[in-house]
Structure 1
């Protein structure tokens, strides 16, 4: 398992490599989706932090607060954490399987705007829609996220198989 900061930095690195920019809103949704894909594909969490159902979708509060000073502008720096009182580090994903999950999520969603990611996470019967209560930042259960994304990934796999069979 990685830190949410490392997963966020992996998305920021992929964005930089592909000439894209990410807002705090987009980064929050991508980390949430990566958690879902990781639970569905690897049967493990990508990061230990709880995800809460906020008005504009799923959020890891610590990650939101780290980047909120960018407001709706693109994020221009990576996540940095204190290793000690005098040393700071930029966390990186070390687990190759988590790195692959982040890459898959990036490849699927890199061209999706923040507003569209909010719409996707707000659809009926999503973990957010089943957890959200106005004015309460309720935790979205890992079980709910895993069940939703297991079905979602299964549907993606089936679409891929169907597309391959049509071209064969």
Structure 2
């Protein structure tokens, strides 16, 4: 896998094919999928060429958010986005394996539990900087910070 071959929406559809999710839970699942693909398909922090998609997560008050995914699904509010019934993108085996592991590990958590988890992790905390807990922020979460955080868990 070199560079990103997929869009955030294609990966969102892949997860929504598994069942309906709230917008917040979808955001957090996408964040963990992106983070683990970044971590497990790159060799070191200075060469992060393999990405699940090119979109950048922002450190919003409720955790990592992709702006375009937020805009598409914000009308659902706290309600679930219906299960996706269309065709999903074909993924390389290694990527599909990571996405399934993310689903197995994080899919049982509620949206609020995933939010709380992301709030305890360095990439979101660092990107938030001096922002107060509920203040708006569009600060980007750094790929290097993501890699450094998650590689410690597999080393």
The C-alpha deviation readout for 1:45-71, integer Å capped at 9, x for no partner, is 111101100010000100111111111
Alignment of 1:50-65 (within 5 A): 50-65=56-71
TM-score of the pair, normalised by structure 1 = 0.76
Specify the alignment match of 2:31 in structure 1.
Answer: 32
In structure 2, which of residues 70, 93, 96 is the aligned counterpart of residue 96 of structure 1? 93
* Alpha-carbon offset, residue 77 of structure 1: 5.0
- Decide which structure has greater strand share: 1
Greater fraction of residues in helix: 1
Q: What TM-score does the superposition give when structure 2 sets the normalisation length?
A: 0.82
* Shift of residue 6, structure 1, vs aligned partner: 1.2
Q: Which runs of 5+ in 2 are unaligned?
A: 43-49
SS at match of 1:45: coil
- How far apart, in 2, do the equivalents of 1:27 and 1:121 lie? 13
Match of 2:76 among 59, 70, 76: 70
Answer yes or no: is the 8 Å Cα contact 2:35–2:146 preserved in 1.
yes
Across the aligned residues of Structure 1 and Structure 2, the Cα RMSD in angstroms comes to: 1.9
Gaps spanning 5+ residues in structure 1: where? 80-88, 156-168
Residues 8-50 of structure 1: CA deviation (Å, up to 9, x unaligned): 1111112x3xxxx310000000101111100111112111101
- CA radius of gyration, larger in: 1
